[in-house]
Structure 1
Amino acid sequence: MTQRRVLFLATVYTHLAAFHVPFMKMLQGWGCEVHAAASSAEGHKERVEEAGVICWEIPFARSPYSPANLDAYRCLKALLREHRFDLIHVHTPVAAFLGRYLAKKTGQGPVLYTAHGFHFYKGAPWKNWLIYYTAERLAAVWTDGLIVMNGEDYENARRMGFEPDKNLFYVHGVGVDLRSFEAPPAAYGIRRELGIEASDVVVSCVAEMIPRKNHDFLLEAWKGVAAGCFRCHLLLVGTGKLKSHLEEKVKREQIPRVHFLGFRRNVPEILRESNIITLTSKHEGLPRCVMEAMAAGKPVVVTDVRGSRDLVEDGRTGFLVRLGDAAGLAAALERLARDPELRTSMGAAGREKIREYSLERVLAEMAEVYGRYLR
């Protein structure tokens, strides 16, 4: 029997390396030859190659308006003309749209698309609906199976004509490895590195520094928290195009006890040493950083947006706050900072809830989906 070939396609290798290597390894375990295609402009291609995946360079740009995507189109077309894949799994808007079109044009096998959060959503700018909703309606005819991970996207997919358990599948995100968060905090961890006392309260935010993650809103709220809680620290983990802007804002406005940690590979350890985790995004698909925070047994304070509200039960596992309500965000953070018993109870409830989103469960859910299309 000829070895089956599967292609993972995304705009950048950063995405594939962060979320999809376990699924690639699962398919390799089934005897499949796994390929990946994306842009390596942001790095991390080597992490996919280390998994034994055959990698191809496609110069995608994240922006749908970028002329670079014309070159990406030509490169992907050449790849798909040279190789036939038994299954193609596409991710991220630009790569997913071009990939689905070219897959059908070149006679490939079935195409699965995972929507990690549609760019059209309740409250989104009208241009998002004009561009991304229109694109998804066009691409629906090239999509053999659509995978979603939050309730709002599920309902939007049904409105576009996808049918549950036929070509529409609801999975519990990309999975979180619960075992990574079971160890106790390191003896010489991030607190020692930053000179933070064991009795101080640490609030952490793990997020790329881009407009969608809304760090400016978090810093506005932090002014109030820092004024009322003199032994509280805010850790910002991640990098991105807004990093220098945020650093300048903290310096210019003299916002105290804010630590910029940059890109870190030891996020589980940082979460275990934190007391509270926050995410103030304008919209989400299903944020893994929140799932990891809950796996670490930490209470979570997030904005009341799609994706985040699918995970956090207000008043039980953390708090939901309205977008733009800096006073409300500050109050929620300060309440948790002052109440260690509440932090413990919310953290325990969150860890219990997040078992539904374990990597083992999501691997099983995806195995069922892949099995349908690889028969």
Structure 2
Amino acid sequence: MTNKRRIFHLITSLNIGGTERFLLTVLKNLKSKYDFSVGYLKERGYTADEIEKIGITVQKFDFLSLVRYLKSFKPEILHTHLYRANIIGRIAGRVAKLPAVISSQRSIDGWKNRFHSVIDGATSIYCDLVIANSAAAADILAKREKVPSNKIEIVYNGQEEFAPSKEALLPVLTVGYVGRLHKEKGVYLLPEIAKALSMKKPEFRFVIIGDGPELGNIRSKINSYGLKNNISFLGWQENRGKIYSEFDVLILPSEEESFPQALLESFAYGVPAVASDVGGVREILEDGKNGFLVKKGDVSGYAAGILAIAENNYCYRHFSANALAKASEYSVEKMIRSVDSIYERFLR
């Protein structure tokens, strides 16, 4: 019989993404202290298997089964993640009369219309705190969703592994992309950026890590531009440390971001970046210091930024060292301490 305090996590789906990685990291680092269980509403996904590997139960719920479970399990905290789980979890937590409900906002969610925002704001009265992972996300919660500012707290993403900064460019300029291949990530621009780059520097490599609905379109355009031999598609890779060491520059052409984990990861391996100036990107990427900020959708701007970073080894060492220094401000230990502090506050 355990005497650990019970915390239940509810998430929309357990696929591969920043929110899912955040949840898994919290569970791994705090499972010895708390009695965790996890529920999801839509898709089980890869992360569910990873959670079960560390001995934590994962179950699927609809609203009624969720309410029954909460009344039976009686968690002292319900922590919800992603839009649908936030809404359903808040209402279910209210019905089950739980002591504390915490939600997470880890994306900008530009797809939301006024109805979604009104529902988000209205149900926020049923939660005690909303954790944002950037100042940009916190600002949206306050302005768009009308969540009271005293209910919002920022906990930045954390990085676990770090490597020395890089001393020199690779023999062939290598640009990497890491993330979901979805439209909001701006991945439809990758072939255009590669084409623009090829006109200035014919010898280069583009490495794409990830999967998603835009994969076929990206492949087709790459082939039509005659760049097939320059581009490698490696699918999703869970252990990315060695892969980052084979990048010179990370490209992040997103339409929206809160606090991109791929950017933090690349910096932790001394890899500077060129990224869209959206959301919370500028909270970690300092223009002209550890990379370049580019107006969203500016293909020539992305290519110019890549070439500026790779101008020579002296410039590159400067960008790489600054990238690593910035990443060191965001450790997993710091993130976990912040989350644990929040839990302890509501368990007093």
Q: TM-score, normalised by structure 1?
A: 0.85
Please give the alpha-carbon distance, in whole angstroms, between the structure 2 residues aligned to 1:244 and 1:118: 26
Please give the alpha-carbon distance, in whole angstroms, between the structure 1 residues aligned to 2:232 and 2:122: 45
Question: Quick one: which amino acid aligns to residue 250 of structure 2?
Answer: I
Question: Quick one: which amino acid aligns to residue 357 of structure 1?
Answer: Y
Q: CA deviation at 1:171?
A: 1.4
In structure 2, relative to structure 1, the CA distance for the partners of 1:247 and 1:362 (3 Å cut) is same
Query: Is the aligned partner of 1:276 residue 2:249?
Result: yes
Please give the per-residue CA displacement for 1:245-291, whole angstroms capped at 9, x wherever unaligned: 21122113323511111111231111111111111110012111000
Q: CA deviation at 1:137?
A: 1.0
Please give the per-residue CA displacement for 1:338-368, whole angstroms capped at 9, x wherever unaligned: 3232222111111111222111111111121
Counterpart residue number, 1:98: 88
Counterpart residue number, 2:231: 258
Larger RCO: 1 or 2 (CA < 8 Å, sep 6+):
2
Query: Is the aligned partner of 1:10 residue 2:11?
Result: yes
For 1:1-375, list aligned pairs within 5 A: 2-14=3-15, 15=17, 17-30=20-33, 32-38=34-40, 39-58=42-61, 72-119=62-109, 124=110, 128-159=112-143, 160-164=146-150, 167-173=151-157, 175-179=158-162, 181-182=163-164, 199-256=171-228, 257-375=230-348
2:46 counterpart SS class: coil
Is residue 164–residue 269 contact of structure 2 (8 Å, CA) maintained in 1?
Answer: yes
Please give the per-residue CA displacement for 1:110-158, whole angstroms capped at 9, x wherever unaligned: 0111100232xxxx46xx2413321221121011011112222223334
2:310 counterpart SS class: helix
2:289 counterpart SS class: coil
Please give the alpha-carbon distance, in whole angstroms, between the structure 2 residues aligned to 1:118 and 1:221: 24
1:140 counterpart SS class: helix
1:357 counterpart SS class: coil
Question: Quick one: which amino acid aligns to residue 11 of structure 1?
Answer: T
Question: Quick one: which amino acid aligns to residue 336 of structure 2?
Answer: L
Count of residues in Structure 1 that have an aligned counterpart in Structure 2: 340
Aligned residues with identical type, % of pairs: 21
Q: CA deviation at 1:222?
A: 1.6
In structure 2, relative to structure 1, the CA distance for the partners of 1:269 and 1:162 (3 Å cut) is same
Q: CA deviation at 1:198?
A: 5.1
Please give the alpha-carbon distance, in whole angstroms, between the structure 1 residues aligned to 2:327 and 2:11: 27
Q: CA deviation at 1:320?
A: 0.4
Please give the alpha-carbon distance, in whole angstroms, between the structure 2 residues aligned to 1:361 and 1:2: 26
Question: Quick one: which amino acid aligns to residue 45 of structure 2?
Answer: E
In structure 2, relative to structure 1, the CA distance for the partners of 1:17 and 1:146 (3 Å cut) is closer
Question: Quick one: which amino acid aligns to residue 130 of structure 2?
Answer: L
Please give the alpha-carbon distance, in whole angstroms, between the structure 2 residues aligned to 1:295 and 1:335: 21
Please give the alpha-carbon distance, in whole angstroms, between the structure 1 residues aligned to 2:185 and 2:201: 24
Q: Which moved more, 1:296-305 or 1:210-219?
A: 210-219
Please give the alpha-carbon distance, in whole angstroms, between the structure 2 residues aligned to 1:78 and 1:35: 15
Please give the per-residue CA displacement for 1:160-199, whole angstroms capped at 9, x wherever unaligned: 25234xx3211122x11134x4599xxxxxxxxxxxx951
Q: CA deviation at 1:40?
A: 4.3
Question: Quick one: which amino acid aligns to residue 114 of structure 1?
Answer: S
Please give the alpha-carbon distance, in whole angstroms, between the structure 2 residues aligned to 1:145 and 1:176: 24
Runs of 5+ in structure 1 lacking a partner?
A: 59-71, 185-196
Runs of 5+ in structure 2 lacking a partner?
A: none
Please give the alpha-carbon distance, in whole angstroms, between the structure 2 residues aligned to 1:34 and 1:182: 35
In structure 2, relative to structure 1, the CA distance for the partners of 1:26 and 1:207 (3 Å cut) is closer
Is residue 67–residue 95 contact of structure 2 (8 Å, CA) maintained in 1?
Answer: no
1:22 counterpart SS class: helix
Question: Quick one: which amino acid aligns to residue 311 of structure 1?
Answer: I
2:54 counterpart SS class: coil
Please give the per-residue CA displacement for 1:272-331, whole angstroms capped at 9, x wherever unaligned: 111111111100121110000111111110000002122100001100000121111111
Is residue 204–residue 236 contact of structure 1 (8 Å, CA) maintained in 2?
Answer: yes
Please give the alpha-carbon distance, in whole angstroms, between the structure 2 residues aligned to 1:260 and 1:289: 17
1:338 counterpart SS class: coil
Is residue 107–residue 257 contact of structure 2 (8 Å, CA) maintained in 1?
Answer: yes
In structure 2, relative to structure 1, the CA distance for the partners of 1:344 and 1:132 (3 Å cut) is farther
Q: CA deviation at 1:17?
A: 4.9
